[in-house]
Structure 1
Amino acid sequence: MDTKWKNSLLMLVWVVLITLSASTLFQVAQTRSTYFKKNYFYTAEYANQVQQLINYVNQMDFNELPSDQDKPKIIVTQTEIENYRSRLGSLTGQITGIKNQYEPQIQEARASGNEELVTFFTKEMNSKIADITADYTSDDTIKSKIVEEKEQEIDEYVQELERFRSHYTSFQASFVYRLVETETGKVFTNVASSDGGSADTRLKSSGMRFLHTYRSLTASNQAVYTNSQVDQSAIDFKYGTYEGQIGVPKSAPENSPIMAEFHIYENKQITFLIYTGLGLLAFAGLIWMTRRYRTEKLFGSTALVAPYYNLIPLDLRAVLLLITGLTALVHLQWAQNALGYGFSLGDMIYHSLTYVLVNTLLVLLLVLQLGMLIKEYRNEQAFKEALRRTVIFWIYQRLREAALIKSLMFQALFVLAVAFGAGIGFVIVCIQNEAIVIYAILLMLFVLPALWLTLKRISYFNRIATHTALLVSGNLEQNLTVEGESPLASLAANINLLRNGVKTSRREQAKSERLKTELITNVSHDLRTPLTSIITYTELLKNKELSAEDRQAFVDILDRKSQRLKVLIDDLFEASRIASGQVELAQERVDIVQLLEQALAEYNEAIKQSGLQLRVTTPDNPVYVWVDGQKLWRVFDNLIGNCVKYALEHTRVYIAVEAKPGRTVITFKNVTKYELSENIDELFERFKRGDTSRHTEGSGLGLAIAKSIVDLHGGELDLDIDGDLFKVTVTLEERLE
Structure 2
Amino acid sequence: MKTRLFLTLFLMFVIAFGGISFLHRGQELLADNYFYTDRFEGTENQFLDGLKQYILNPIDFEELLDNIEVTSEEIDYYRSYYGSLSDQLMNIESQYSERLDDPAIGEAARTALEEERNNKLEEVKKNFESDDVVKEKIIALKKEALTKYETEFERGVREFKSTYSFFDYKLKDMETAKSVEKWGDEKAAYTQTFTESQPLQAEAVSSIYLGEYTNSPGLIGYDIQVNQDDRYFTGSISLAKSMLTKSDFSEEYHVFKLERIIFYLIWAAALAAIFLLVTVWRPSWQLFSGVLDIEERFYRLLPDVKIACSFILALFTLSAMESGVYRVQGMLYEYTMYGGFRNGFELIFLLVLQFVLFSATIVTAVWAYLSIKSEEAPFNDSFVMKIVKASQDVFLNRSIGIQMTALLFIFFLGGVGLAGVTLQFGLIVIYAPLFTFILLPALYIFLRRMGYLNRVMKQTEEMAAGRLTSPIKVKGKSPIARHAENLNDLRKGIELSMKEQAKSERLKTELITNVSHDLRTPLTSIITYTDLLKNPNLTEEERAKYVGILDQKSAKLKTLIEDLFDVSKMASGNVEIMKRRVDLAQMLQQAAGEHEEDFTAAGLDLRVAIHDQPVYAEVDGQKWWRVVDNLLLNARKYSLEGTRVYVSLRTVSGIAEFSVKNVAKYELGENVEELTERFKRADTSRHTEGSGLGLAIAQSIVDLHGGQLQIEVDGDLFKVIVKINTV
TM (norm. structure 2) is 0.63
Q: CA deviation at 1:660?
A: 4.6
Q: 1:262 to 1:654 in 2, by over 3 A?
A: same
Q: Please name the residue that 1:435 is paired with.
A: none
Query: What is the identity, as a one-letter code, of the residue corresponding to 2:559?
Result: V
CA contact (8 A) 1:73 1:234 kept: no
Q: CA deviation at 1:699?
A: 0.4
1:585 match: secondary structure? coil
Distance 2:77 2:120 in 1: 17
Q: 1:76 aligns with which of 57, 61, 66?
A: 66
Q: Please name the residue that 2:325 is paired with.
A: 339
Q: Please name the residue that 2:339 is paired with.
A: none
Q: CA deviation at 1:567?
A: 1.8
Alignment of 1:265-664 (within 5 A): 265-270=256-261, 272-273=263-264, 304=297, 338-341=324-327, 342-345=329-332, 378=378, 380=380, 386-387=386-387, 390=390, 394=394, 397=397, 399-400=399-400, 514-542=506-534, 554-597=546-589, 599=591, 610=602, 614-618=606-610, 621-647=613-639, 653-664=645-656
CA contact (8 A) 2:666 2:682 kept: yes
CA contact (8 A) 1:19 1:360 kept: no
CA contact (8 A) 2:581 2:619 kept: yes
Q: Please name the residue that 2:417 is paired with.
A: none
Query: What is the identity, as a one-letter code, of the residue corresponding to 1:699?
Result: S
Query: What is the identity, as a one-letter code, of the residue corresponding to 1:34?
Result: E
Query: What is the identity, as a one-letter code, of the residue corresponding to 2:626?
Result: R
1:252 match: secondary structure? coil
1:41 match: secondary structure? helix
Q: CA deviation at 1:520?
A: 2.6
The superposition leaves residues 601-624 of structure 1 with CA deviations (integer Å, 9 ceiling, x where unpaired) of 765775676566655444684322
Q: Please name the residue that 2:31 is paired with.
A: 37
Q: Please name the residue that 2:132 is paired with.
A: 137
Q: Please name the residue that 2:423 is paired with.
A: none
Pairing 1:259–2:260 present: no
Distance 2:490 2:181 in 1: 109
Q: 2:108 aligns with which of 86, 110, 116?
A: 116
Q: CA deviation at 1:704?
A: 1.4
Q: CA deviation at 1:635?
A: 0.9
Query: What is the identity, as a one-letter code, of the residue corresponding to 1:662?
Result: G
Query: What is the identity, as a one-letter code, of the residue corresponding to 1:77?
Result: N
Distance 1:538 1:111 in 2: 149
Alignment of 1:699-714 (within 5 A): 699-714=691-706
Q: Please name the residue that 1:248 is paired with.
A: 241
Q: CA deviation at 1:698?
A: 0.5
The superposition leaves residues 41-92 of structure 1 with CA deviations (integer Å, 9 ceiling, x where unpaired) of 33242244456567778999x78999xxx99777512515879857854498
Q: CA deviation at 1:565?
A: 1.9
Q: 1:114 to 1:578 in 2, by over 3 A?
A: same
1:340 match: secondary structure? helix
Query: What is the identity, as a one-letter code, of the residue corresponding to 2:189?
Result: L
Q: 1:108 to 1:681 in 2, by over 3 A?
A: same
Alignment of 1:56-205 (within 5 A): 75-79=65-69, 88-90=78-80, 100=91, 104-105=95-96, 107-112=98-103, 114-127=106-119, 133=126, 136-137=131-132, 154=150, 157-158=153-154, 161-162=157-158, 167-168=163-164, 172=166, 180-181=170-171, 188-189=182-183, 196=185, 199=186, 203=187
Distance 1:357 1:495 in 2: 59
Query: What is the identity, as a one-letter code, of the residue corresponding to 1:627?
Result: V
Pairing 1:665–2:660 present: no
Q: CA deviation at 1:34?
A: 1.5
The structure, 1 or 2, with the larger RCO (C-alpha pairs under 8 Å, 6+ apart) is 1
Q: CA deviation at 1:645?
A: 3.5
Query: What is the identity, as a one-letter code, of the residue corresponding to 1:211?
Result: A
Distance 1:292 1:328 in 2: 21
1:568 match: secondary structure? helix
Distance 1:630 1:18 in 2: 94
Distance 1:721 1:572 in 2: 26
Q: 1:397 to 1:247 in 2, by over 3 A?
A: farther
Distance 1:58 1:94 in 2: 47
1:686 match: secondary structure? coil
1:690 match: secondary structure? coil
CA contact (8 A) 2:523 2:553 kept: yes
Distance 1:56 1:148 in 2: 25
Q: 1:211 aligns with which of 175, 179, 189?
A: 189
Distance 1:237 1:617 in 2: 122
CA contact (8 A) 1:272 1:339 kept: no
Distance 1:601 1:238 in 2: 133
Q: CA deviation at 1:35?
A: 2.4
CA contact (8 A) 1:157 1:226 kept: no
Query: What is the identity, as a one-letter code, of the residue corresponding to 1:76?
Result: D
Gapped regions of structure 2 (runs ≥ 5)? 214-222, 333-343, 408-428, 430-443
Distance 1:186 1:500 in 2: 102
Q: 1:552 to 1:287 in 2, by over 3 A?
A: farther
Q: CA deviation at 1:386?
A: 2.2
CA contact (8 A) 2:672 2:711 kept: yes
Q: CA deviation at 1:521?
A: 2.4
Work out the number of aligned pairs and report it: 636
The superposition leaves residues 542-576 of structure 1 with CA deviations (integer Å, 9 ceiling, x where unpaired) of 55666777666555544433332222122222223
